[in-house]
Amino acid sequence: MNDKLKIRPEKRLGQNFLSETGIIKKLIGAAEIKSGETVLEIGPGTGNLTAELIKTGRPVIAAEKDRRMADVLREKFNKADNFTLFLADALKFDELKIAAPYKIVANLPFYAAAPIIRKFLESRNPPALMSLIIQKEVAQRICAQAPKANILATAVQFYAIPKIISYVSKGSFWPVPKVDAAILLLVPRAKEGERADKKFSEKFFRILKAGFSHPRKLLASNLVQIANLPREKIKAAMANSGIPQNCRPENLSPQDWIALARVFEL
């Protein structure tokens, strides 16, 4: 327990607080926060990152799920006129109320990183950029490219360009987690064309999910399960997309999946 705050981190909430100042500054630096931009922090906890964000002078909005931590934050930053706190679960937080442009800078709970990332990338008001600390292995999976692609990487890369800025030792957190972390930068792609088309996006993700249902099988075999089409028509769709008949889902880039979704009949 932290003697000063008299608060014990909640394991069920994935609370591992960032304690190393150098990492905090690198996380903020990667976001390149500019004049006129608002910062959204998710799960600020004890406020170590929050304090440095407030120093930028930009408006800082924080969404904290834990009522105990929210009380600590209110007391700690009650004199900061550029800080607004919401007692809220990030997955239920209404980001539409944030004036664009805004950026997300956060040390995410490892267990909730993927759904939080997807929520904001799919939003009608997506951030201009996300500078995040997440589990190292998850960051590496998100950045994977063909021929070692995976469903998480393809889903994220449909909406954004990912980049690992640096790795973070587990010793940089309190309490110390079991795994190392990484600073992941996500730059959302413009919400236009097919990425702004809800029907196309739904089709894309149905095909993607089916395509990776058995990652080691041939893509054509996996796609059979979602289409009432003869295998010959599936192969024709693949050919029209420029995708080899003998490829596996891990061999496809996000653009390959987009091309397949354009011609594939569900």
Q: Tens digit of pLDDT for each residue in 27-57?
A: 999 999 999 999 999 999 899 999 999 999 9
Q: Using DSSP, state whether 143 is helix, strand or coil.
A: coil
Helix 151-159 and helix 113-122, axial crossing angle in degrees, nearest 10: 30
Tell me if the pTM is above 0.85. Answer: yes
Q: Which of 171, 190, 209 corresponds to the end of one domain?
A: 190
235, 166: one domain: no
126, 239: one domain: no
- Distance, in Å, from the CA atom of 238 to the CA atom of 261, rounded to the nearest integer, reads 10
Share of the chain above pLDDT 70, in %: 93
Mean pLDDT of the region 127-138: 98
Q: Which of 145, 167, 190 corresponds to the end of one domain?
A: 190
113, 174: one domain: yes
174, 212: one domain: no
The better pLDDT of the pair 17, 103 is held by 103
Reading the block at residue 24, the tokens are 């905090």
129, 104: one domain: yes
**For position 4, what pLDDT does the model report?**
45
Q: Is residue 3 part of a domain?
A: no
- Distance, in Å, from the CA atom of 197 to the CA atom of 192, rounded to the nearest integer, reads 8
165, 206: one domain: no
- Distance, in Å, from the CA atom of 252 to the CA atom of 222, rounded to the nearest integer, reads 14
- Distance, in Å, from the CA atom of 205 to the CA atom of 200, rounded to the nearest integer, reads 9
Mean pLDDT of the region 96-113: 95
CA atoms within 13 A on the CB side of 137: 4
111, 88: one domain: yes
Question: Closest Cα partner for 129 from 182, 91, 186?
Answer: 186
Domain that holds residue 122: 11-190
Look up the CATH number of the domain holding residue 147: 3.40.50.150
Mean pLDDT of the region 107-112: 93
* Total of domains in the chain: 2
Which segment of 16-25, 142-151, 185-194 scores lowest on mean pLDDT?
A: 16-25
Per residue in 189-226, pLDDT tens? 998 888 999 999 999 999 999 999 999 899 999 998 77
Per residue in 233-247, pLDDT tens? 888 999 999 999 999
Mean pLDDT of the region 5-23: 69
Share of the chain above pLDDT 90, in %: 79
Per residue in 65-87, pLDDT tens? 999 999 999 999 999 999 999 99
186, 199: one domain: no
223, 180: one domain: no
Q: Which of 190, 211, 241 corresponds to the end of one domain?
A: 190
**For position 266, what pLDDT does the model report?**
66
Q: Using DSSP, state whether 13 is helix, strand or coil.
A: helix
